[in-house]
Amino acid sequence: MSPVPVFVSVGRTSTPEQERFVAAIESHMLRHALLPQTLGRNYWSSQHPLKAVDELMSQCGGAAIVGFERLRVVQGIDRRGSDKEQQVANVSLPTVWNQIEAAMAYARRLPLLVFVQTGLRAEGLLETGYDWYIQEMSLDETLLADPGFTGIFDDWRSRVEELHTERHSTMRGASETGRLPSKEAKADLPPALDRRALLQILGAQLSEDELRALCFILRIDYEKLKGTTKTATAISLITFFEQMNHFDDLVAGVRELRPMGTDDELPRSANVRQGPSQPNPNAALYRALLSAFPVPSDFERMLDLGMGIKLAEIASGDLSNLVYGVIRYTEARGRVLELLKAARSANPESPELLALAESGSIAN
C-alpha cells in the first residue's frame, strides 16, 4: 500500500536544531506509512503559493502544523495607542503561514495535528481550545518516542487513513459509474517510456526553454530543480517525479510538449510495465541521506572520511542539490553501494539507511 500523503506546514528552518526536528518528524511519518508534503521543501509549483497549497492539500489525507520560532521580539508594544496597550519582551512568533495553512486544512476538514514550540506565542489557530490536539514541544526528537505522544499520533494517523480510504472509495464508485476512466480503459493507454529514453529526450532533444515550458505545464518551479547542466536538470526532474510516484505525469507532459513522434523515436525497456513506474532505489537513497544528514557539514564529513570525496569539488547549492549531485556522481562511477555503506557507518542509527541496506535494492 502506498503511503498516505499528509500536508506539513513548517517554515523554512533557520537552525540545525530546527532542521533536525523537522527531519525527525518526516522520518517518523514515513515509518508509519505517511508521506509528508511541504510546499518549497519536497513539493514545488509554479502557481501562486496559496493556490499551490490548496492544490497540494486536495491530495492529502491530513495536515500537521509545526510552529517554531521565526521572529524574536526582544522589546515591543502590543496594541500601541489603545487603552489596552502593553509592553512585551522576549516574545517568539512563528511564520504566519502556520496560521494560514492551519485554517485552510481545517476548512477542508483534514485531521489536524499541531506542534507548538515551548515558549512560542501560540495564538489564533495554534492555541488550545479548538477541536484538534496541540502538542507543546522542545526541539528534541525524543518527543516522538514518548508514549503520550505516540497515542495521540496513532489516533491522528487512523483518522488520516480513514479519510484517505473514504476518498478512494468515492473515486472507485465514480469510476464504476463512468465518471472516471475505468481500470480497463487505463490499461489501453501506451506503456510508460523507459527512464533512460526519457532522459534522452529531456537532456539531449529539448532546449532549456522547452524544459522551462515543461515545468510550467507540470506546475513545477524550474529554478528549484535546475542543475548545473541540462542533463543534471533532466535527472532532477525524473527523480522528483519518481519519488512522488507520478512518473506517468512527467511522460504525459513531454508528450503534450512534443506530441509528434515521441513514441516512435524512443526505445522502451522490455521490463517497463503499464501503470506507475517501478520505485527508484536511488530516490529512496536520496530521502534517506537527507534524513540521516540534515546538516550539510555532517554530510560533507561523511563523504570525506568515508569515501575520500571532497563535496565542494562535485556539487554546490543547498542540501537537496548536494545530495542529488553526490548520487549522480557515485552512480556514474559505480560507487552508489559504497555511498550507502559510508553513510551507514557515519550514522548507524538511521532507520531509513538500515531499511535500504536490508532491502538489497542498492547495487552498483
**CATH of residue 122:** 3.40.50
Q: Does residue 256 register a pLDDT over 90? A: no
Indicate if 296 and 322 belong to the same structural domain: yes
Residue 306 and residue 237 in contact, taking contact as beta carbons nearer than 8 Å: no
Going by pLDDT thresholds of 50, 70 and 90, the confidence category of residue 364 is low
Is 336 inside a domain boundary?
Answer: yes
222 in the same domain as 157:
no
Return d(Cα 54, Cα 171) in angstroms, integer: 19
Question: Residue 87: which domain range?
Answer: 4-164
pLDDT-wise least confident of 32-46, 199-213, 319-333: 199-213
Q: Does residue 291 share a domain with residue 154?
A: no
For the segment 35-62, what is each residue's pLDDT rounded down to a tens digit?
999 988 877 777 788 888 988 898 899 9
Amino acid at 183: K
Which carries the bigger pLDDT value, residue 13 or residue 231? 13
- CB proximity list for 80: less than 8 A, separation 6 or greater: none
- Residue 79 per-residue DSSP state: S
Question: Could you tell me if 160 and 11 lie in one domain?
Answer: yes
Whether residues 71 and 217 fall in one domain: no
Looking at residue 74, its amino acid is V
Q: Is the pLDDT of residue 268 over 70?
A: no
**Which grid cell is 168?**
478512494
* Total-model pTM: 0.49
Q: Is 340 exposed, middle or buried (0-12, 13-18, 19+ CB in 10 A)?
A: buried
Residue 208 CB neighbour total at 10 angstroms = 11
pLDDT at 218: 75
Average confidence (pLDDT) over 333-359: 89
Domain count, the chain: 3
Q: Is residue 176 in some structural domain?
A: no
- Tens digit of each residue's pLDDT (9 = 90 or more) over 163-200: 888 776 654 444 444 443 333 333 332 344 567 777 77
Residue 184 counted as domain residue: no
Q: Residues 241, 317: one domain?
A: no
Is residue 364 a part of any domain in this protein? no
β-bridge partners, 65:
9, 114
Cβ 351 vs Cβ 27: under 8 Å: yes
Element (H, E) at 74: strand 71-78
Distance CA(350)–CA(287), nearest Å, equals 12
Together in a domain, 19 and 157? yes
What is the pLDDT at residue 343? 93
Q: Are residues 22 and 160 in the same domain?
A: yes
* Residue 269 confidence class, pLDDT cut points 50, 70, 90: very low
> Of 215, 235, 265, which residue constitutes the final position of a domain?
265
pLDDT of 290: 84
Give the model's pLDDT for residue 345: 93
The answer on 8 and 147 residing in a single domain is yes
pLDDT, residue 275, reads: 38
Specify the long-range contacts of residues 271-276, CB closer than 8 Å, at least 24 apart.
272/191, 272/192, 272/193, 272/194, 273/191, 274/187, 274/189, 274/191, 274/192, 275/186, 275/192, 275/248, 276/245, 276/247, 276/248
- What percent of the chain clears pLDDT 70, i.e. is strictly above it? 81
245: its cell numbers: 510516484
Question: Does residue 114 sit in the same domain as residue 28?
Answer: yes
